[in-house]
């Protein structure tokens, strides 16, 4: 059984305003999104940052993105728009807001054409959302759940946390529990859209079955 984190019993509903909860994150996100649009850089919001605006409002340590069709961010370009590389932490960039450091982390890279990995599939299937006044790519909620299941399978140390995120997503979208978030729908999506081999699919579905489903 997956238990909620301490203090989340009165979980807030998804933020429909598209505002980031953590102080300073809105400023940093807007700076990056503006510069990315000018330079033709494509990205998708992911991880705890997506959870904040679409699943459960709450502060996050950094801003998580998936970079599309390129392996990294150019150091000269990032420096020009106010970001500095974080020493010792690859693919992480720091921006200061009133002296406070806030990081953007490139969690993964994806392809807009080749379904080579789950992040690429999620990007190719992505929705969009207005966040901090900018329209950006975000995963569908069912793909967020799938990415969390992939993360849980890959890292036992973070498994409880990732499955708790899945539980939060199921509770945040009760209208989808018998539709795109049903066990059968997730299994079909893993097979047909993500084209997972049988062994891998079985592993992820076993993890999903460990997550308590909301009553109602």
Q: What's the pLDDT at 18?
A: 86
Q: Return the higher-pLDDT residue of 203 and 6.
A: 203
Q: What tens digit of pLDDT does each residue of 58-70 get?
A: 999 999 999 999 9
Q: Which residue has the higher pLDDT, 13 or 48?
A: 48
Instruction: Considering the chain, tell me which residue range(s) the CATH 3.30.460.40 domain(s) occupy.
Output: 25-138
Q: How confident is residue 12, by pLDDT bands cut at 50, 70 and 90?
A: very low
Instruction: Report d(CA 42, CA 33) in Å as an integer.
Output: 9
pLDDT at 15 over 70: no
Judged by phi (left if over 0) then psi (alpha if -120 to 50, else beta), residue 155 lies in: beta
6 pLDDT higher than 90: no
The encoded tokens of residue 189 equal 């999506």
* Residue 163, pLDDT above cutoff 80: yes
pLDDT in tens, 109-141: 999 999 889 999 999 999 999 999 999 999 999
* pLDDT score of 11: 46
| Mean pLDDT estimate for the chain | 92
Position 16 pLDDT exceeds 70: no
In terms of Cβ atoms closer than 10 Å to its own Cβ (0-12, 13-18, 19+), residue 155 is exposed
> Do 66 and 109 contact (CB within 8 A), yes or no?
yes
What's the rounded mean pLDDT across residues 38-51?
95
- Class (C level, CATH) for 25-138: alpha beta
d(CA 20, CA 97): 15
């Amino acid at each position: 059984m997956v238990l909620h984190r301490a203090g989340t019993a009165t979980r807030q509903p998804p933020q429909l305003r598209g505002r980031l909860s953590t102080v300073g994150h809105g400023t940093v996100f807007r700076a990056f999104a503006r510069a990315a649009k000018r330079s033709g850089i494509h990205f998708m919001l992911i991880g705890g940052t997506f959870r904040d605006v679409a699943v459960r409002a709450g502060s996050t340590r950094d801003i998580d993105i998936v970079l599309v069709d390129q392996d990294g961010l150019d150091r000269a370009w990032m420096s020009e728009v106010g970001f500095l590389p974080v020493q010792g932490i690859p693919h992480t960039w720091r921006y200061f807001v009133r002296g406070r450091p806030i990081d953007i982390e490139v969690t993964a890279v994806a392809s807009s054409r080749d379904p080579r990995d789950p992040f690429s599939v999620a990007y190719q299937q992505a929705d969009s959302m207005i966040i901090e006044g900018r329209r950006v790519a975000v995963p569908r909620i069912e793909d967020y759940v799938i990415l969390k299941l992939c993360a849980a399978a890959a890292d036992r140390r973070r498994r409880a946390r990732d499955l708790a995120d899945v539980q939060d997503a199921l509770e945040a979208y009760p209208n989808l529990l018998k539709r795109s978030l049903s066990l059968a729908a997730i299994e079909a999506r893993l097979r047909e859209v993500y084209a997972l081999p049988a062994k891998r699919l079985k592993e992820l579905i076993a993890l999903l079955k460990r997550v308590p489903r909301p009553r109602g």
